[in-house]
Amino acid sequence: MSDFSRLDSSYPKGHSGAHCGVAPDADEGPDYDAELVERARAGEERALTELYRRHERRAYNLALRMLGNQWDAADVTQEAFIKAFRNLGSYKGEARFSTWLHRIVVNAAYDHLRRRQDEPVETETLDDLSGPAGPVTSLAGGGAGIEPAADGLSEPVKRALLSLNEGFRLAVVLCDLLGFPYSEAAEILGVQEGTIKSRIFRAREALAQALFEAGYELPRSTVAQEPGGSGRRQSDQQDRGQL
Amino acid sequence: MTERDAQYDNRGRCDEAFLAGHGGECLSGHIDEWPEAALDYLEGHLDAGRAVVVEAHLASCPECFRRLEHQRALSGLLHELPLEPAPAELEERVLEAVLATRELPGRLATQEVPPSRAVGEASVPRRETEHLEPTWWSRLWHSRVRPWVPASIAVAALLLGILGYGLLRSGAENQADYAGSRLATTAAPATTSEPAQTPTPGETRKGAGSTVYAQDSTVTALGSPPAAEAESETTTTAAGTTSETIATATASSAETGYLAAAISDRKSMIAELAQVQGPVYFVFVSAKLGGSVSAETSEAVVQQLGNITGLEPLAASLALDGPTFAAYVPREDASALVDLLLSIKASLQLELHLEPQPPEATPERISRLFAHKQEFPVLSAHRTPAPAVSAWSFTTSTLLSPGDTTKRSIPTPDEDGSHVLVVILVRR
């Protein structure tokens, strides 16, 4: 009976309040963004810089996880910030600035994906990208090519993420990776909060499965301890890598 | 899945009497049937009664307990992963681009800019920035992996544009020459799926569509390099007159964010689409008396537009004073859209105006139209790959992503300023 109680106590410290994570800018809160927007509207360049710095990392990582490579992510992040800053006049303040901005990032990334789909891609291109050329690219056979650059996530996690359906990946990236509250992720994607939770649940299940199949073990995982499970999994356990 | 179910169904039984005493009720099924409650429980957001229910189930169902553990582990793992820093140059590029256009509302409001300068700053440099800057990052990418290099395409398009622009300007006072010069410069590129054809009277619908397509590709070759336009500003008296019109229109919209008056020249239309805030109306009117377009010509517009873009006219109950289209267009695709519409205009010998309000449309009809805002598609332009250097193709897509069943509260792309809501009307 007491086993499951540790689920709560061992939950990461960042996960508190009505959030699925803690936003990087949580120290000063959304009100500070609103203040910066006002100052930027009044022509203060420094306010723009500050707005940029407060949100660039999450915006870039969102684009990176949607598009799968740094170059496209940089393009889309740049485009989204320029659009947002040029249209500060049309920002009504009904949503948080970060919600509004990241919605622009998502739209820009979708536009980018649409354009990219229309461009011919030669076979060697896919080889060159070692798989994750985009959200719809199969990961099968990846790894033989040149990795564009290290991009932070460990390879198995990155591959597992890219194997997810886009809607699920976006939900888990926004909440688990970038720390948006469920409610804000729902606003960014224009879906109900319940939909976000459901997607995150299913995404994490798929991630756990993908990682297990790739031979990796979750931290303090019980994957291989299935009651009544066969000895095969137990022996696999010895060969499993760490994430 | 079936193995698990067979194994644990009997363990998941619910003690109703116990739960009733704790203010809860039984959960039906396993954890994947109540994912919201599971996540809320993980984060301690479930009220006491429901938490008891979840715990009761977990205590009796090791499989669900294990799956909840995975949820926790994955959440923790992802949450603790460091985020990648954005490229260092990005900040400078963003701020330079934004500050260079001087479009911060406060700055615009406080600076007195001569009209001619306002035109330049509000339209031309921004088009340059939007058009060229994003490809800076792409170049690293594309030069390695793409079968064609955007930079060289851009140069080729620029050269074509300068050449074509001269032709265009030399015939600017004559609409027939205007269309002719565009056709003349197409000779090289058209290797699109539909070959360029010389328009002949009585062509079939499909023929008409492909003719426009060929024209479109040329028009874009002329229009795409903004730098060429900027440098050629001084050419003819016709151009001089035009730039005054632009100055008025652009200055007014820079102040209000809304299109103030009808305009009909290409450059102003593009400039307006790139910055106007409200919905705008492209209206095809007849050059002949009364301005109403004949049924036959109107049908031809619908066909051509449909063939090229995939757009379909709105239902008659939503239409304004004639066949009506509505779509969200990315602002950076403004020139592609304008050139497309101008090519249709030229081929059918119509007039085209960009208007703040459609003529003779009642407010009721307009509000009825916008009640269906979420159903309008996004219309995007795409450069077709080399060797058809300058051609555009168009695609439409709906706002709802595949698998998205919630049709309420979807933000429309115009709300964040990235797209402009365009209504195209053929006046009957």
Domain boundaries, chain B: 2-80, 90-426
Tell me the pLDDT band of B150, cut-offs 50, 70 and 90. Answer: very low
* pLDDT mean over B243-260: 48
- The highest-confidence range among A23-37, B97-111, B131-145, B299-313, by mean pLDDT, is B299-313
- In angstroms, what separates the C-alpha of A223 from chain B's closest C-alpha? 8
* Chain A residues closer than 8 Å to B66 by CB: 222-223, 225-226
CB atoms near residue A235 (< 10 Å): 10
* pLDDT mean over B43-47: 85
Question: Where does residue A18 rank: exposed (0-12), middle (13-18), buried (19+ CB within 10 A)?
Answer: exposed
What token pair was written down for A29? 């809160």
Tell me the pLDDT band of B408, cut-offs 50, 70 and 90. Answer: low
CA atoms of B138 and B144, how far apart (whole Å): 10
**Coil, strand or helix at B422:** strand
Please say if the pLDDT value at position A68 is more than 70.
Answer: yes
* pLDDT mean over B128-142: 40
CA atoms of B129 and B120, how far apart (whole Å): 13
Tell me the pLDDT band of B382, cut-offs 50, 70 and 90. Answer: confident
CA atoms of A61 and B6, how far apart (whole Å): 42
Phi-psi region of A120 (alpha: psi -120 to 50; beta: other; left: phi over 0): beta
Tell me the pLDDT band of B392, cut-offs 50, 70 and 90. Answer: low
Class of domain A22-218: mainly alpha
- In angstroms, what separates the C-alpha of B25 from chain A's closest C-alpha? 19
Per-residue DSSP letter, B293: P
- Contact indicator for B308, B192 with CB cutoff of 8 Å: no
Tens of pLDDT along A101-141? 999 999 999 999 888 777 654 433 333 333 333 333 222 22
Residues 6+ apart with CB under 8 A from A13: none
- Contact indicator for A22, B79 with CB cutoff of 8 Å: no
Say whether B65 and A197 touch across the interface (CB within 8 A).
no
- Check residue B259 and give its pLDDT: 73
For chain B, the average pLDDT equals 63
Find the residue in B nearest to A124 (Cα).
Answer: B145
State the Rg of chain B over Cα.
28
Among B83, B93, B104, whose Cβ lies nearest the Cβ of A57? B83
Find the residue in B nearest to A193 (Cα).
Answer: B36
CA atoms of A181 and A175, how far apart (whole Å): 6
Among B65, B330, B397, whose Cβ lies nearest the Cβ of A4? B65
* pLDDT mean over B314-335: 88
- In angstroms, what separates the C-alpha of B179 from chain A's closest C-alpha? 28
Tell me the pLDDT band of B264, cut-offs 50, 70 and 90. Answer: confident
CA atoms of B144 and B89, how far apart (whole Å): 20
- Check residue A78 and give its pLDDT: 95
- In angstroms, what separates the C-alpha of B71 from chain A's closest C-alpha? 6
Tens of pLDDT along A91-108? 888 889 999 999 999 999
Question: Where does residue B276 rank: exposed (0-12), middle (13-18), buried (19+ CB within 10 A)?
Answer: buried
Tell me the pLDDT band of A176, cut-offs 50, 70 and 90. Answer: very high
What token pair was written down for A17? 């309040």
Cα dist from B202 to B206, B208, B296, whole Å: 11, 9, 12
Please say if the pLDDT value at position B107 is more than 60.
Answer: no
CA atoms of B50 and A179, how far apart (whole Å): 26
Tell me the pLDDT band of B424, cut-offs 50, 70 and 90. Answer: very high
Please say if the pLDDT value at position B375 is more than 50.
Answer: yes
- Look at residues A181, A218, A55, A230 and name the one whose alpha carbon lies nearest to residue B67: A218
- Check residue B327 and give its pLDDT: 92
- Check residue B113 and give its pLDDT: 32
CA atoms of A178 and B43, how far apart (whole Å): 17
Using a CB–CB cutoff of 8 Å, tell me whether B387 touches chain A: no
- Check residue B340 and give its pLDDT: 85
Cα dist from B158 to B80, B221, B225, B236, whole Å: 48, 8, 5, 21
Using a CB–CB cutoff of 8 Å, tell me whether B74 touches chain A: yes
* pLDDT mean over B259-271: 82
Percent of chain A with pLDDT over 90: 40
- The highest-confidence range among B31-45, B161-175, B256-270, by mean pLDDT, is B31-45
Q: Element (H or E) spanning A217, and its range?
A: strand A216-217
Please say if the pLDDT value at position A74 is more than 90.
Answer: yes
- Contact indicator for B343, B212 with CB cutoff of 8 Å: yes
Find the residue in A nearest to B54 (Cα).
Answer: A4
- Contact indicator for A234, A224 with CB cutoff of 8 Å: yes
- In angstroms, what separates the C-alpha of A232 from chain B's closest C-alpha? 16
* Chain A residues closer than 8 Å to B65 by CB: 3-4
Residues 6+ apart with CB under 8 A from B2: none
Phi-psi region of A43 (alpha: psi -120 to 50; beta: other; left: phi over 0): left
ipTM score assigned to the predicted complex = 0.70
Which of B145, B332, B410, B421 would best serve as a mutation to test chain A binding (most A beta carbons within 10 A)?
B145
* Chain A residues closer than 8 Å to B271 by CB: none
- Check residue A196 and give its pLDDT: 93
Q: Within 13 Å, how many C-alpha atoms sit on residue A234's CB side? A: 7
* Chain A residues closer than 8 Å to B138 by CB: 71-72, 75
- Contact indicator for B273, B280 with CB cutoff of 8 Å: yes
* pLDDT mean over B154-159: 45
Say whether A108 and B417 touch across the interface (CB within 8 A).
no
Residues 6+ apart with CB under 8 A from A189: A106, A167, A170, A171, A174, A196
* Chain B residues closer than 8 Å to A59 by CB: 86
Instruction: Return the domain boundaries, chain A.
Output: 22-218
CA atoms of A52 and A60, how far apart (whole Å): 11
* pLDDT mean over B269-295: 85
CA atoms of B172 and B176, how far apart (whole Å): 9
Please say if the pLDDT value at position A232 is more than 70.
Answer: no
Percent of chain B with pLDDT over 70: 50
Query: How would you write B211-259 as a 3-class SS string?
Result: HHHHHHHHHHHHHCCHHHHHHCCCCCHHHHHHHHHHHHHHHHHHHHCCC
Tell me the pLDDT band of B250, cut-offs 50, 70 and 90. Answer: very low
- In angstroms, what separates the C-alpha of B134 from chain A's closest C-alpha? 5
Backbone CA torsion sign across A158, A159, A161, A162: positive
Using a CB–CB cutoff of 8 Å, tell me whether B401 touches chain A: yes
- Check residue A120 and give its pLDDT: 57
